[in-house]
Amino acid sequence: MLWKIRTELADRPGALAELAARCGADEINILSLEVFTAESGAVDELVVSTGVGWTAENLTALVTEAGCTSTTVRPCQADVLHDGPTRYLRAILRLIDDPLSVDEELESLQGFDEYTPAEWARADVLVEIAGRLAEREVGPVQEPPRPGSAVPELRKASVEDADAVVAMHDRCSYESRTRRYHVPMPKLTARTARHLSAPAGGVSIVAAAGEAVVGMATAAPWDELGGTAMEIAVLVEDGWQRHGLGSQLLRRVIQEARDLGADRVVCMVQPENDAMLRTVEGLRMRTRVVQDSGHLMVTVALSDQSLSHAVERPSVPYRQTRAIPARS
């Protein structure tokens, strides 16, 4: 049986040889090996062949005994033995026929939830190729009504809004998408749009001008923070920014999060995103701001005890260091 193993090797000479020796001792044949550089060190992806009786749990234990960490093991098929460039070129050929299948292609190519920087770069290029192919099929982007010609309606989103959400992302500038997702987002796929429109355990609010979606706010559970927290994020199409639409979306999605039982909401903001910080301040709600890996984690309290659950890091006095009007 074939298995794909992804693991972080110990940062010392001979770590890979130790893993290979451990596999050889149990008659496990390593058929391919690919090494990715990550912030935490080297991530190795192996395809191995085992005899009958081996399970993912057995293989995880074996790799752990060899000094490896963060191990993921999954069964796989023989096609993973093709070299990486060939697999990506074949994926491009399939995208020519169906650009919207990019999510499925990425899952087939990589198959793990955690990507290294090198794999993120590959995925970005593949998504961009799919986006350009899709644009050729659908033709020029149709512009929605401009501010002043229509009053957007705020309502709960559903999976039926996915196409309109994709179209809005296509109209947004690179800078607006990057401020929303904190990573380059060349193309939003239909599959991702469906998840955004109806997040599991959460809610999304769209601002609709006619049949077009011109803004969107999402709240989704964030279990790693403890308590009952939800992460929120807002994206407003460039032509509709600075018209108060972001504030309306933010207030509405926070109320929906409260109705779902959240005791606080968290918004990750880039330090230079003055507009979002001013929008959060404009809520006139109790907030706490801490540094988090180069971003500002803004926690908005929805109950009397909610800020006590916030991550214990020093608060950031950003009102004194940024060009943002101080508010009580």
* Beta-strand pair 29-38/41-49: antiparallel
| DSSP β-bridge partners for residue 205 | 156, 217
CA separation for the pair 145, 94 (Å, rounded): 35
pLDDT of residue 328: 26
Percent with pLDDT over 70 in the chain: 82
In this predicted model, what pLDDT tens digit does every residue of 204-214 receive, in sequence order? 999 999 889 99
pLDDT at 310: 45
Report the topology of domain 153-321.
Aminopeptidase (3.40.630)
Mean pLDDT value of segment 274-297: 86
Over residues 8-25, the mean pLDDT reads 86
| 214-266 pLDDT per residue, tens | 999 999 998 765 568 999 999 999 999 988 899 999 999 999 999 999 999 99
Q: pLDDT-derived band of residue 187, with 50, 70 and 90 as boundaries?
A: confident
Mean pLDDT of 166-172: 91
For residue 168, the SS3 value is: helix
Q: In the prediction, which pLDDT does 199 show?
A: 93
Q: Has residue 293 got a pLDDT over 60? A: yes
Q: What is the mean pLDDT of the chain?
A: 81
Which uninterrupted H or E stretch holds 287? strand 287-292
**Beta pairing, strands 264-269 & 229-236:** parallel
Amino acid letter, residue 241: Q
Which CATH class, in words, describes the domain spanning 2-80? alpha beta
What span, in angstroms and rounded, lies between the C-alpha atoms of 208 and 204? 13
Assess whether pLDDT exceeds 80 at residue 183. Answer: no
**Confidence bin at 186 (pLDDT 50/70/90):** low
Is residue 49 within 8 Å of residue 31, measured between CB atoms? yes
Q: DSSP states of 199-218 as a string?
A: -TTSEEEEEEETTEEEEEEE
Least confidently predicted of 60-74, 113-127, 197-211, 290-304:
113-127
Q: Which of 126, 128, 193 is nearest to 161 (CA)?
A: 193
pLDDT in tens, 308-318: 444 444 444 43
Q: Which of 23-37, 83-97, 299-313 has the highest mean pLDDT?
A: 23-37
Look at the pTM and tell me if it is higher than 0.85: no
Map out the domains of the chain as residue ranges.
2-80, 83-138, 153-321
pLDDT at 319: 36
> What mean pLDDT is predicted for residues 122-135?
79
Tokens standing for residue 301: 């309290």
